[in-house]
Structure 1
């Protein structure tokens, strides 16, 4: 899939988010573990289509008998020191001097960024670096029918070269598809997951744009069924007129978060793009801003993906013409 082109967007504004963004990790690492040698230990990752991850580590000289070895893969949630925000997965010899740990899709790993460590005996856990990553099963992923929360985990390399895991746990979930921003508004397509009856849920559904600085301000637009070839009862489409959010703009930067509200108005799903192998969409899927004649002043409006891969639109002042 080729991401849409367009100028890079400025950094996401500060403010409340669904999961709480945390800063990038510190560069400090603990002392080396002798069993892994003097180099930083690396982990190969294999993702499965259900949301599970398998980690394989090189550990030359370890015994092949599981009873003779004790180690763990440690996942620590970024920005939290609480014991509850740590998961330990047993590491066991997998033959050929390798150790394996498995994170099943059935483990309810809370949303966030999880730094990956290896713990050996009484030594301090040590950060892992990325090895090979087989994420082919995540490309254009289409989860099967279920009402349980959707588990998504994507391993990635941090800016310091260490291994981390991005986790989402959502239900219901509205997966964003094609987006077409135009001079009048944003036309989008999506697919609904993790509801009992998607057709009934979408009948009369609306897309809500919620003003982040004042969540009581909401703009709605109908969400209709997709009639294109290959579409089914889970697919939906919408068109959001930029004039409505622009009418609330009073200068500066405004962000509107997009949600899908089901029939009856009781359940909502954040519109996001998480069902692929790209951990951070923000700098990859970029869209051109559109000029809007807002009542307050000339403005620019356009969609973007947040640091959590949620879909939002932003309204800002139109830059002065060059020259």
Structure 2
């Protein structure tokens, strides 16, 4: 049968989009599946479109689309919808007269057997424009009955009786719908979101890291998590909290973190997709929401072997987590109980490990294949209730059959084509950091064809020749992936950013590698190779979806493991790599002006043994080194093993798994002074101009 999902914007990265893509991909194994996106805002979706699924946009809102090919000038975009309530339409931003027109036309002509609407405005459209008897009409509720405003709630309640089925993502919310809609003949049932397991390496529970992820909005109550972390950090300062996501509360959370003195303990990481690689880095996941209709992040973390400490809010967490077995449930809105739950797992390694294993097993309940099967059962039951037979499975949305010249043997044509055309390279790969710090590049077989293929690393905007490595084909005893290894003890990468390509010598084909996952879990706790030069590599996905490496290579490096604003000055503690302090060393830190009105100055450094060091830069000395004038003064910090000797060693923060520390490792202004990291990870000090 043909199944169509209606999404508002399939080109974003929200939970509804992820769930729809997951289930659509599972259904596409046996059926023809189409995702219809009401609007299109960029060229390609942020999330990978599942194999076998067609994506059809109805309205093109790409500002950079070719002239005349988008709908931005259409006057209907500025006219209100005649059907969707204003609270859902957001004026005319989400729904308008043009969306009315395009959806009505699509629902009138579609050849789908089932149409599934995924948000209130689309549910209204399906009720108004859907053709009764031509296809099944199913609405989805991705929030909770009580969380919609009165206007949206009334519109949904009016639309539901005109559908064949309406699904909630939790049984508790389905029961709420049934209680509020007595006598409605529409099937009201629960079908969870589909969340797939990935092939990434799961967490081993050893990293001293707690991870949270989601939109930075009030309902997520990250303020409670930050407040709870003050208690955790006081008892376990070596543990760290990362919060992934973006949203309107980012500035408020940044201020709260700074006011609590937690800048060195909590990192706001920004948005990250795919998020699974980041769950796998953590030992514990935290969800502190006031409400969760389902909790996709909970299942994602559990798939990665990470136990979740979650508030027992309506409705999802309590249906997903078995308290005390595969995670912990704590009261809603209670920062002290959140802290206690986190500390319970932080302080019990065995409990954390066993819960992580149980979480991976429990998460299998939400595999997209199981959710797809539940949809198939629901569709069959709806047809049975109608007294009709469900359409047979059919695949191939958008498929075509190529013609051939009559009388020409097909085998002859195939041979000629094979001689003239080689299959193109479309490599997609994951990069995994191994326990030894090497990079395992795992290339999916569907996009690579030929013999003697190679993987090359090319320095972006560099002069040198690419580094070439053999790409090994799958074997009977190995996985079905092509593999290459970048050995950090044998491969010398100069500092910079490196792009990966697959090369086919037979015809000179060369294609850049798309990123599936960049798995950096192995970088947590990893140390650089001893000796000089110092080097460090971090794999990452580029903004346009390709796999790349950030490499550092220096004769020596001073890693600033602690950057802290003390009462009297800026304290730095770290470790020297690629060089040694002598037994009578008298190291110094040099502050060299790089911008604005400042002069150089020195600070004594204490060598602590085993390459460790610490120093404090007094605030007074920094202000004295400011020479007046307009603008902020900026100094770069370097280390010398003794005054006036040797090449200065840059001080910064490079080790670990974060590529762009200048975007994540942020510190507040104290006494007019702010420590900053550059794009290359080097430590600088900024002194603001005096006010007054």
User: TM-score, normalised to structure 2's length?
Assistant: 0.36
Q: Secondary structure, in 3 states, of the residue corresponding to 2:621?
A: helix
- 2:600 & 2:447 partners in 1: Cα distance? 61
State the partner residue of 2:520.
135
Q: SS state of the match for residue 662, structure 2?
A: coil
CA distance in 1, matches of 2:511, 2:521: 28
Q: Secondary structure at the match of 1:130?
A: strand
- 1:253 counterpart residue number: 632
In the alignment, which residue of structure 2 is the partner of 1:315? 687
Matched, 1:91 2:477: no
- Per-residue deviation, residues 251-273 of structure 1 (Å, max 9, x unmatched): 21332111111036224321121
> Is 1:287 the counterpart of 2:667 in the alignment?
yes
Does the CA-based 8 Å contact 1:44-1:55 persist in structure 2?
A: yes
Pair 1:54 & 2:452 matched: no
Contact 1:62/1:97 (8 A) holds in 2 = no
Residue 211 of structure 1 deviates from its aligned partner by 0.7
Aligned length: 270
Consecutive unaligned residues of structure 2, counting only runs of 5 or more, are: 1-239, 244-252, 256-421
1:212–1:256 Cα contact (<8 Å) kept: yes
SS of structure 2 residue aligned to 1:244: helix
Q: Is the 8 A contact 1:303 1:313 kept in 2?
A: yes
Stretches of structure 1 that go unaligned for 5 or more consecutive residues are: 8-32, 227-231, 292-299
Q: Say whether residues 1:75 and 2:462 are aligned partners.
A: no
Moved more, 251-260 or 89-98: 89-98
- Match of residue 42, structure 1, among 428, 442, 445: 428
Report if aligned partners of 1:51, 1:151 keep a CA contact under 8 Å in 2. no
CA deviation map 1:234-265 (0-9, x unaligned)? 21110012333333242213321111110362
Q: How does 1:138-217 map to 2 (within 5 A)?
A: 138-143=523-528, 146-182=530-566, 184-195=568-579, 197-200=580-583, 203-213=585-595, 217=599
The superposition leaves residues 93-120 of structure 1 with CA deviations (integer Å, 9 ceiling, x where unpaired) of: 1334421122111221100011222222
Q: How far apart are residue 199 of structure 1 and its match? A: 4.8
Deviations 1:111-159 (A, max 9, x none): 0011222222334422212223332221132346x32212211001112
RCO (CA 8 Å, sep 6+): is it higher in 1 or 2? 1
**In the alignment, is the contact (CA less than 8 A) between 1:52 and 1:153 conserved in 2?**
no
Deviation at 1:49, TM superposition (A): 5.3
Change (3 A) 1:62 1:178: closer
Contact 1:3 1:285 in 2 (8 A): no
> Is the contact between residue 60 and residue 97 of structure 1 (CA under 8 Å) also seen in structure 2?
no
Equivalent pair of 2:503/2:510 in contact (CA under 8 Å): yes
How big is the shift at 1:213? 3.9
When the two structures are superposed, what TM-score results if normalisation uses the length of structure 1? 0.74
Question: Which of 636, 642, 655 pairs up with 1:263?
Answer: 642
Describe the SS at the equivalent of 1:160. coil
Q: Deviations over 1:272-309 (max 9, x none)?
A: 21111111111111000123xxxxxxxx3211111001
Distance, in Å, in 2 between the alignment partners of 1:142 and 1:260 is 20
> By percentage of residues, which structure has more helix?
2
Equivalent in the alignment of 1:126: 511
d(CA) in 1 for partners of 2:483, 2:602: 48
SS in 1 for 2:661: coil
8 Å Cα contact 2:431-2:539 kept in structure 1: yes
Q: Distance in 2 between matches of 1:319 and 1:93?
A: 65
Instruction: State the partner residue of 1:273.
Output: 653
Shift of residue 174, structure 1, vs aligned partner: 0.9
Q: CA shift at 1:78, angstroms?
A: 1.7
Contact 1:152 1:168 in 2 (8 A): yes
Which of structures 1 and 2 has the bigger CA Rg?
A: 2
CA distance in 1, matches of 2:548, 2:633: 31
Aligned 8 A contact 1:52 1:102 in 2: yes
Q: Conserved in 2, the CA contact under 8 Å of 1:61 and 1:97? A: no
Following superposition, the deviation at residue 50 of structure 1 comes to 5.0
Root-mean-square deviation over aligned CA pairs: 3.0
Distance in 1 between residues matched to 2:680 and 2:447, nearest whole Å? 41
Higher strand proportion (structure 1 or 2): 1
- Does the 8 Å contact 1:51/1:152 carry over to 2? no
Native 8 Å contact 1:78 1:115 kept in 2: yes
> Is 2:486 the partner of 1:103?
yes
Pick closer, same or farther for the CA change 1:61–1:318 going to 2, 3 Å. Answer: closer
Is contact 2:437-2:526 (8 Å) kept? no
Q: Secondary structure at the match of 2:583?
A: helix
- The DSSP-based 3-state class of the residue aligned with 2:602 is strand
